[in-house]
Amino acid sequence: GGNIAPEVEQHLQDYEKIQQRINLMRFGAIPVLAGSSHEKMSLGTGVKQAHQSLTREDLSAYEEEIQALEAQKQQVWQQLRRYDPVLAGQVQVEHLHWEQIQQLIEEPTTALLSFYTTKEDTYIFALFKDRKTQVLTCERQGLGKLQDWILDNWFRPYVRTNSKWKDKMGDFLQELAERLQLEKLVGQYLEGIEELIIVPHLALHQIPFAALPMKADGRGQKAEGKEEDKAGGRGQEAGGKEEDKAEKEERIVIDQTRGLAFNSKSSKSSPTKHVTKITYLGDRFRIRLIPSCQILHYCHQRPPIEGQQMGIVEDATEDLPFTNFECETLAQIYQVPSEQRLQGRKATVKSYQKLAQQVQILHSSHHAKSNPFQPLESQLSLGDGSLTLGQLLTPSWRMPNLSEVFACACEVNFTVTEITDDLLTLATGFLCAGARSVVSTQWSVEDLPSALLAIFYYKNRESGMSRSQALQQGQIKLRKLTGEDFTQNYQAQLNSHLLQKLEEVNTAKQQAQAEGDQKYSS
């Protein structure tokens, strides 16, 4: 739980009492006004039968009373929203008008794409700052034909056998691009557009839109990025072309992801494959994925934040060797003081909470796992336990001064959505807690490419790029990174770093063994 301020608690109670009164009048025991004023109707009798006993005047008065209660409830909700907009959003969804959504589009070169699937078709609504709204209909791509197909060919293979999911990723994304008529969408509706704000629907929340191929020649080929996994995109595993040369050197080979997967039949990366020349949606556009227009509206209403202090949460379980290299690089770029860098077991739940409420930028690099079947139990793995999504949504975890979170961990933005389309992920939790922006992952990610992407991203941010541009260019750079480039720019630093970590592990092992021997000899 979390402590709720007394005034917020009072508003919650008032809201609940009014809603109970409304429910009672609509569905519960209400007077049958045409008969005895003391006669009551049971719940099972039904409102329709009660209305048959009401005169027109009585029915009008009855409806007016309900409307008055609804107005009173909205006043209470507005008061609650002033104190705690997250709680207000949890008790009642704010419906946005078309004009309000259009106001969320800040630039004429930005388009908002909102997907919606019915029983028969899928619609793509393209909204612009200063253009007429366009609608593309993907005929015969309804709930069964499209949404169930995504669950059967994307979600379930990922959960059951990760290796088969990777092997079929390129073909799946190519077919999805065709089903969504991507070429037509881009060619006919997105002329002059440079950035996309994408609002998925249902199973489309799982899709890395940046990785959708834009050319048909990618079908049947192994799409680049199939081997690796990036925040909302994909990356090519580095070092593949230099394998023969590297075999002559002393090397430390580590296969490690940043997840604690609920199914881990195969967590190993596929061998590096030939990079094909395919253009992706993420090459053509900067992309921002949002859970809903309501959350985007909520983020837009927050006041601007001054300051760029970074806090780092680093390898809380002390088993991600490349994470230390990543975070040391970032600490140097942003001059992060030691007290704002939680390393290893020092990254406790309590210290994480304290740090997140102090800094403007939070780089969170460690294990995490999604629980799509019990999403509130999705968790970040910290030094003394876990931080769950349920905790993150409580009032004690508000982070009003947090501008940006880079959650460099597995499955931070992965879940299954029901028909209500509530996206309960750790990424959404950070947004609700106060963050203006979250860079996150959609599946289980590898340690080394994750580290490189984070470094590329922050260097791009330092050069003045926006968040979406920094991520786009970082993904492109990682995907195009050759073995030769990797060897020249990173191999020596990483080898030195890994050898140092190995020495630390051996020293700790020897110390523990010596302490054990002394204990048993005394």
Q: What is the largest CA-CA distance in the chain?
A: 97
What's the pTM value of the predicted model, to 2 decimals? Answer: 0.75
pLDDT tens sequence across 192-247: 999 999 999 999 999 999 999 997 443 433 344 333 333 333 232 333 333 343 33
Percent of the chain with pLDDT over 90: 50
Question: What is the identity of the amino acid at 204?
Answer: L
> What's the Cα-to-Cα distance from 264 to each of 84, 369, 482, rounded to whole Å?
39, 12, 29
Torsion angle, alpha carbons of 20, 23, 24, 27, to 10? -160
Nearest to 117 by CA among 144, 153, 151, 152: 144
Instruction: Report the C-alpha gap between 165 and 155 in whole angstroms.
Output: 9
Nearest to 408 by CA among 432, 444, 378: 444
Please report the pLDDT score of residue 233 as a whole number: 35
pLDDT tens sequence across 433-462: 889 999 999 999 999 999 999 999 999 999
Question: What is the identity of the amino acid at 480?
Answer: K
What is the band of 521 on the pLDDT scale with cuts at 50, 70, 90? Answer: low
Nearest to 200 by CA among 118, 289, 105, 111: 289
Instruction: Report the C-alpha gap between 438 and 518 in whole angstroms.
Output: 49
What is the band of 404 on the pLDDT scale with cuts at 50, 70, 90? Answer: very high
Q: pLDDT at residue 402 above 80?
A: yes
pLDDT tens sequence across 24-53: 776 654 444 444 343 444 333 444 444 455
pLDDT tens sequence across 300-335: 888 888 889 999 999 999 999 899 999 999 999 999
The b-or-e profile of 141-168 (16+ CB within 10 A means b, else e) is bbbebbbebbeebbbebbbeebeebbee
Instruction: Report the C-alpha gap between 417 and 143 in whole angstroms.
Output: 13
What is the band of 352 on the pLDDT scale with cuts at 50, 70, 90? Answer: very high
